[in-house]
Amino acid sequence: MELVWQAAVSGVVLGLVYALVALGLSLIWGVMDVVNLAHAEYLMLAMYATYWLWALGRLDPALAFPVVVPVFFGLGWLTHQALICRIVRAPLAAQIFATFGLLFVLRYSAFAAFGPNVYGVWRTGEGTVTVLGVSVAASKVVAAGVSLAAFGLLAAFLRYTKTGKALQAAAQNRDVALALGIPVDRMYALSWGIGVASVALAGVFLIPFYQVSPTIGDAFLLLAFASVVLGGFGRVDGALVGGLSIGLLENLLGTLVSPTFKFLFVFAAFVAMLLVRPQGLLGDVGR
C-alpha cells in the first residue's frame, strides 16, 4: 500500500511537470490548429540556456526564469513571424514538414553548438521534502508548483483580459475575429510567444533534476502530444488533466504491473481515448 501511495504522489508531481511541458503545445494547437513538432526542442534549448547561466554566470536555475522566459517569448514570436505565418493556411503536410524541419534545425544547431555531451546542474544543498508522507526532490515540488501557477495565470489571462479574449476569438473563428477588428496574425504570434515561453519555463525548472543533451526532446515530445490528446484539444486545462493522467498511469501501472510496459499503458489509454472520446477528457464536442 505504501508503494502505491508513493507511486501516486510521485505520479502527480511528474504529471504536473508533463503538463507544463504540454501547455505551450496545447495553446498553439488550440489557437492555430498547427501541430508544433519542434515543441520539445525549445524545451531542450531552454534547458541549455539555464544550464549555461548556471555554469558560466553562477545564476541559480530557480532565478533564471526572468531571463530565460522573456527571451524564449521573443524566440517564439520570431519563429511565428519567420516561418509559421507562411504556413498557417497551407495544407497539413506542409505544416508538418515545416515544423519537422524546424525540429532538425534546432536539434542539430544544438549539436553544433554544444556537442553531444550531457550536462546537468549539480547543487550541494539539493534536498528532498516530504509530501504526504513521501520523500520527493525539492526541485520537483517546485516545478510542480510552477506548473500549477502557470496554468492558473494563463487561464486568468484568457478569461479576464481583453487580449486573452481576443486570443480566444481568433482561435474560435479566424474570419469573424478579423471582421471584428482583431489583429489575428498578432494573436497567432502571441500564442507562439506564450507557447514557447511556457515550454521554456518547463525547461528552467526541469534542469535541476533532469539532464540536457541535444536529443533530450525525444523523452518528452510524445508524452506532450499524448497529454494534449488525452486532456482535450482546444482547451488549455486539457493539458493539465492529460499530463496528470499520464504521470499517474505511468507511475501507478508501471510500479504495480511492470515498468517495461509503462508507456504501453499510457499509449493504450491514448488510443482508447481517440476511439471512445476523440475530443479528450475535457474537450467540447463539435469543435
Partner 1 sequence: MGRMTRRRFLQYSGAALASLALGDPLSRWAVGQEAPVTVGAVYPLTGALARIGAAIRNAIELAVEIVNNPYPDLNLPLARTAGLPRLGGRRLRVVWGDSRGDPATGRAEAERLIEREGAVALIGSYQSAVTATASLAAEARGIPFLNPESSSPRLTERGFKWFFRTGPHDITFTRIMFDMVEDLKRRGHRISRVAILAEDSEFGATAAGVAKGFAQSRGYTVAAMELYTSPPSSLTAELLRIRAAAPDFVIGANYLVDAILITRTLKEMRWFPQGFMVHAGFTTVPDYLNAVGRDGYYFLARAPWALGIARRKPLVARVNELYRRKHGADMDEVAARAFTGMLTLADAINRAGSTAPAAIQKALRETNIPGAQLIMPWQGIQFDDKGQNRYATGVMVQILDGEYKVVWPFEVAEAELAWPAPPWDRR
CA distance 259 to 188: 40
Q: How far is the CB of 14 from partner 1 (least distance, A)?
A: 5
Q: Smaller CB distance to partner 1: residue 23 or 34? A: 23
Tell which residue, 155, 229, 277, 223, has the closest CA to residue 11.
Answer: 223
Q: How far is the CB of 224 from partner 1 (least distance, A)?
A: 10
Q: Smaller CB distance to partner 1: residue 218 or 284? A: 218
Q: How far is the CB of 163 from partner 1 (least distance, A)?
A: 33
Q: How far is the CB of 218 from partner 1 (least distance, A)?
A: 6
Q: Do residues 223 and 18 touch, judged by C-beta distance below 8 A?
A: yes
Q: How far is the CB of 174 from partner 1 (least distance, A)?
A: 35
Q: Which residues are near partner 1 by CB under 8 A?
A: 3, 6-7, 10-11, 14, 18, 116-124, 126, 128, 135-137, 140, 209-211, 213, 215-216, 218-220, 223, 250-251, 254-255, 258-260, 262-263
CA distance 102 to 98: 6
Three-state DSSP state, 119: strand
CA distance 198 to 72: 9
Q: Smaller CB distance to partner 1: residue 60 or 218? A: 218
Q: Any residues with CB less than 8 A from the CB of 176 and at least 6 apart, and which?
A: 169
Q: Smaller CB distance to partner 1: residue 23 or 182? A: 23
Tell which residue, 216, 205, 165, 200, has the closest CA to residue 79.
Answer: 200
Q: How far is the CB of 93 from partner 1 (least distance, A)?
A: 28
Q: Smaller CB distance to partner 1: residue 100 or 119? A: 119
Q: How far is the CB of 193 from partner 1 (least distance, A)?
A: 26
Q: Smaller CB distance to partner 1: residue 214 or 280? A: 214
CA distance 110 to 115: 7
Q: Any residues with CB less than 8 A from the CB of 226 and at least 6 apart, and which?
A: 242, 246, 266, 267, 270
Q: Smaller CB distance to partner 1: residue 80 or 262? A: 262
Q: Any residues with CB less than 8 A from the CB of 239 and at least 6 apart, and which?
A: 19, 22, 23, 25, 26, 151, 227, 228, 231
Tell which residue, 203, 205, 218, has the closest CA to residue 47.
Answer: 203
